[in-house]
Amino acid sequence: MPALTVPVKNEISDVYPPLASSMVAEISTMFRFAGGLQINSGVVGLHAELTHPGAARHLWELLRRAYNITAELVAVHNSMRNGNHYVLQVTDRGERIARRLGLLDAKGRLMRGLAPHIVSGSKADAAAAWRGAFLARGTLLEPGRNASLEVTCPSLEAAYAIGGLARRMEIPYRARESRGAHRVDIREGDAISAMLTRIGANDAVLVWEELRTQREVNGSINRLANFDDANMRRSADAAVIAVIRVKRAFEILGADIPEKLREAGECRIKYPHDSLNVLGERLSQTATKDAVAGRLRRLNTMADKRAQELGIPSTLDAVEEAEKRSLRG
């Protein structure tokens, strides 16, 4: 699994959509891309096989929240693969849930692509579907000539469907067949950043932009001046999002914040344009960039869970509201 893929999956496996339609879109896409349906003795069951433990736990929790069911989740070690993979199965009310998810059509036939209610849903549903697809079969390659955010699709129809959802979010993509598999990838740097933001990987965006800037600087000193403005804009955008989320997290949690998370959040607000490395050096106890990113991620996750419990806008909602205000002007 490429190095950047794991941090992204670690982060977005803690992101849960507040809308029921988005939750259904994410569950359906994860099953469609990671497995599908199984029929044993005439009984329809749901089956997904995942390589990332956080993704498996995420799907398990989505099913619990959406349908109040406890899925069977088993870790399987296979010496032919690298490490464990995780098998999740649903047999209780399997056919009924499959129909609700749109994995079966009205006549009981298997859907080849994604369900119509996902394809024609909101941008929030589209983002949730992409988060599910990435958790199931996604990879992120480091900035460079071959940089890409890619998902491997179970069918041509599924590739067209997930590509169409990217288009709805105004993110350019490419559908192709490679090594016998259908793939949808996003290759433009700005588009990759946009998709990472859409699926809730805001800490990963900061890391991605740092690597991207470093790659561009090292690549050609003669082109450095041309890159500076664009890099500054991208870094500024990512910094603004991070600060908005932290400020909203403080509003939601109040005094109920662990000290290390509070300190990381306060530093992020006070020094919005610092890299994660520099931010770590400013803390009372020096921390690595991964540790800083983890603390900010946990702060936002705590706040979003509390917001969902209270039925109030989350940190991601605050970002969307800020974007709307910016567009209005």
Same domain, 102 and 149: yes
CB 316 within 8 A of CB 249: no
What pTM value is reported for the model?
A: 0.69
pLDDT at position 232: 47
Q: Per residue of the chain (329 residues), what is the pLDDT tens digit? A: 667 899 999 999 999 999 999 999 999 999 999 988 888 777 889 999 999 999 999 999 999 999 999 999 998 877 655 678 999 999 888 889 999 999 988 778 888 899 999 999 999 999 999 999 999 999 998 776 678 999 999 999 999 999 999 999 999 999 998 888 999 999 988 899 999 999 999 889 888 888 877 776 665 444 444 444 555 455 556 778 888 899 999 999 998 899 999 999 999 999 988 888 899 999 999 999 889 989 998 999 999 999 998 999 999 888 888 777 766 65
Same domain, 9 and 155: yes
pLDDT at position 166: 96
Q: Residues for the chain: how many in total? A: 329
Same domain, 125 and 18: yes
Under DSSP, the state recorded for 114 is -
- Sign of torsion over alpha carbons 314, 319, 323, 329: positive
Count of structural domains within the chain: 2
pLDDT at position 26: 97
CB 114 within 8 A of CB 32: yes
* CATH number, residue 50: 3.10.28.10
pLDDT at position 36: 85
Same domain, 221 and 289: yes
* Residue type (1 letter), 271: Y
**What is the distance in angstroms between the CA of the first residue and the CA of the last residue of the chain?**
42
Helix (H) or strand (E) holding 171: none
Ramachandran bin of 41, using left for φ above 0, alpha for ψ from -120 to 50, beta for the remaining angles: left
Same domain, 211 and 298: yes
CB 56 within 8 A of CB 86: yes
CB 207 within 8 A of CB 7: yes
Same domain, 229 and 299: yes
